Structure 1
Amino acid sequence: MNGFFYYLNVNGYSAILVDNKSILKEGRVTKMKKKETVTIYDVAREASVSMATVSRAINHNHNVKPETEKKVLDVVKRLNYRPNDVARGLASKKTTTVGVIIPNVTNSYFAALARGIDDIAEMYQYNIILTNSDGDEKKELKALNTLYSKQVDGLIFMGNEISEAVRSDMSNERIPVVLAGSVDFQNQFNSVNIDYRKAVYAQTNELLKNGNDRVAFVASHLNRSINKDYRIEGYKDALRDAGIPFRKTLLFEANEATYDSGYKLRNKLVQEEVTAAIVSNDDVAAGVMNSMSDSGINVPEQFEVATSDNTKLTEMTRPMLSTITQPLYDIGAVSMRLLTKLMKNEEVSERNILLPFGLKDRNSTK
């Protein structure tokens, strides 16, 4: 015999597999049958109905008689038939599939949004393809190309910033896009958020009312649109209304949205004689607070910390973190509902939806 062969012994039966094609079993060689894909035609033939009836039965169309539907579904189960969504999408120009780009699947903020997206997608019978981008432009562009190749009917984009390359790519593809928990300063795409400017204004105002005249604003990237165009403007508004001058030296940048980045800011905050800080990220806020406590600065008596996302982390710290409250699940859910309307060309009364926010006072503030 030529080529590769393998000797098999299964439950006492001997066989030789040659070139992955032939089997010598009990002294004779037989060809292995290649597994064939079961098609809708096979189901129709076995059930003695048309292919259109099979399609209607699988989709539980009310025009199919119950006994016919049962007969078709019994054949589907027996043949282990699986509808080809890609082929079905090419025929109808719809795949009932939605692409979701998320910057960090392990981040509690974005994970809560994704849960809301998924629940509404299931309600409206859409499938979700979730891709992780790490907030990196190259990965976002790669993810977009992958989703386009899957013939997705729409996109939900969650990201810290929309680069010009990503904006151009999404615009050129001409499929509906909704931003979830992400801002678009150019107002090109539909979006669902809270009013970040008013939220930061309200939280900063609370810290000022507690007697702090040197309140810091801390964010992972100050130049991102959500910070420079919204949050920092709200911070400035609160200072102005309180009659306190804005000091650029009280804007602090954590290199990354991580606990360690927040922890390393302690010396800079102390040098600027900061007595309170509003932080745009819960992980960073936890780092700032613990760093102060570890250096002997009492929270909240000597230093107050308020954060912005109200993820589970805010309740796990000691003391628990005061925070802006955001309806994270609802942001995701409303984003998906908005996308379903866009994909069906339904009228949308509001392109940029702002959901209500609140303030949760816990033990990290007075």
Structure 2
Amino acid sequence: MATSIKDVAREAGVSIATVSRVLNDIDVVNEDTKKKVLDAIKKLGYRPNIVARSLKTQRTKTVGILVPDISSGFYPEIVRGAEDVANIYDYNVILCNSDFDYDKEKDYLRVLKEKMVDGVIYMSSCLEEETLDIINELDLKTVLAESKDKEGRLPSVIIDNIQASYDATKSLIDKGLKNIAFVGVNKGAANAWGERHKGYEKALQESGLAVDEDLEFFKDLKVKSGYKAVESFLATGKKFDGVVCSSDEIAMGVINALRENGMKVPEDVSVIGFNDNAVASYFYPKITTVKQPSYDMGSVAMRMLIKILNNKPLDQDQYVLDYKLIQRESSK
């Protein structure tokens, strides 16, 4: 027979109302009484009915994390940072993977609301106005990670993606490269991926170099996309001496395709990745890349969300974390 809240109250020698206050973290219970209740809960192995509790408190102590591609080497680190902080504050996590599918992403926002999550950390594959309207309509407490909305309506944790991609591209230009290709996800997306393309274009334009659409390729963050991008570039017959990539996985695919087509990295073509995943420093050649503080991005986002859920003021609602261009062997 399952242990009930009455059993806990009897074991601790307190009222059912007092046990309820402890479970709901209401401050009126003194520390000695709270300890008795927690000891009784542990001894009896009591697990509160989350559904019943949430109906009373309108809170489930559960948060959703929505990512576009959990197989990427980047997003699991954000999730780990967020989950570690959630565990500290006794929040459970529901993880949703949208597979770069915008419709699936919108559906997941609605599903998370139906699951009565208290809030969401949202990494968007396409942060359009319709998505923001859905979040507003559902009244979902939301913190953006990796991207921010144009008007800063939602709290966010990002790096300066435009400047980071600009720095990566400019580093190749400064070494004398003039025909630099780009491999990304969505050139017009209102998120980090769109901004990385903007940074690339900005660096070319400021250096008086033309943006050649034949040397741009957009798909997803996977290795295969990098490989197919090189096939696409070679098919045009145009020369290119550098490739800026939106992820380290893309950079790996680019390097493999170049190698298979008899081109050396970096002697013939320099390649720069993005994120500094664990494998970037073990791949051959070791990948020059933009290092993002992915774990910190997740942990800061979760701390912000928990403050919002507990009606505590944020120190700031738009965090821009530091990044670093890591020079390795894949670029001159």
User: What is the TM-score when the length of structure 2 is the normalising length?
Assistant: 0.89
Q: Evaluate the alpha carbon distance shift between residue 78 and residue 347 of structure 1 in structure 2; reply closer, same or farther with a 3 A threshold.
A: closer
Q: Does structure 1 retain, via aligned residues, the 8 Å contact 2:65–2:122?
A: yes
Amino acid at match of 1:169: I
2:242 counterpart of 1:268: no
Q: Give the corresponding residue for 1:127.
A: 92
Provide the secondary structure at the position in 2 that maps to 1:353.
strand
Question: Deviation of residue 48 (structure 1)?
Answer: 3.9
Question: Deviation of residue 285 (structure 1)?
Answer: 1.2
Q: Does structure 2 retain, via aligned residues, the 8 Å contact 1:281–1:309?
A: yes
Question: Deviation of residue 240 (structure 1)?
Answer: 2.9
Q: Give the corresponding residue for 1:7.
A: none
Q: Does structure 1 retain, via aligned residues, the 8 Å contact 2:18–2:29?
A: no
Equivalent of 2:141, from 176, 185, 188?
A: 176
Amino acid at match of 2:224: D
Equivalent of 2:216, from 233, 241, 251?
A: 251
Q: Does structure 1 retain, via aligned residues, the 8 Å contact 2:113–2:140?
A: no
Alpha-carbon distance in structure 2 between the residues aligned to 1:324 and 1:228: 13
Question: Deviation of residue 70 (structure 1)?
Answer: 6.1
Q: Give the corresponding residue for 2:271.
A: 305
Alpha-carbon distance in structure 1 between the residues aligned to 2:108 and 2:133: 14
2:4 counterpart of 1:39: yes
Equivalent of 1:215, from 177, 180, 185?
A: 180
Question: Deviation of residue 159 (structure 1)?
Answer: 2.4
Alpha-carbon distance in structure 1 between the residues aligned to 2:232 and 2:22: 67
Question: Deviation of residue 210 (structure 1)?
Answer: 1.2
Question: Deviation of residue 361 (structure 1)?
Answer: 0.5
More displaced, 207-216 or 233-242?
A: 233-242
User: What is the TM-score when the length of structure 1 is the normalising length?
Assistant: 0.81
1:1-366 matches, cutoff 5 A: 35=1, 37-56=2-21, 63-64=29-30, 66=32, 72-73=37-38, 75-77=40-42, 79-226=44-191, 229-253=194-218, 255-270=219-234, 271-366=237-332
Identity of aligned residues (%): 36
Question: Deviation of residue 47 (structure 1)?
Answer: 4.4
Question: Deviation of residue 217 (structure 1)?
Answer: 1.5
Alpha-carbon distance in structure 1 between the residues aligned to 2:281 and 2:200: 24
Q: Evaluate the alpha carbon distance shift between residue 188 and residue 214 of structure 1 in structure 2; reply closer, same or farther with a 3 A threshold.
A: same
Q: Does structure 1 retain, via aligned residues, the 8 Å contact 2:72–2:222?
A: no
Q: Does structure 2 retain, via aligned residues, the 8 Å contact 1:161–1:183?
A: no
Amino acid at match of 2:230: R
Amino acid at match of 2:183: V
Alpha-carbon distance in structure 2 between the residues aligned to 1:346 and 1:46: 35
Q: Deviations over 1:233-255 (max 9, x none)?
A: 222221233232333333222x3
Query: How many residues end up aligned between the 2 structures?
Result: 329
Alpha-carbon distance in structure 1 between the residues aligned to 2:180 and 2:140: 43
Question: Deviation of residue 312 (structure 1)?
Answer: 1.6
Q: Evaluate the alpha carbon distance shift between residue 250 and residue 151 of structure 1 in structure 2; reply closer, same or farther with a 3 A threshold.
A: same
Q: CA RMSD in A?
A: 2.5
Amino acid at match of 1:117: A
Q: Which has the higher contact order (CA 8 A, sep 6+)?
A: 2
Question: Deviation of residue 160 (structure 1)?
Answer: 1.8
Alpha-carbon distance in structure 1 between the residues aligned to 2:321 and 2:125: 19
Amino acid at match of 2:140: I
Structure 1 runs of 4+ aligned residues shifted over 6 Å read: none
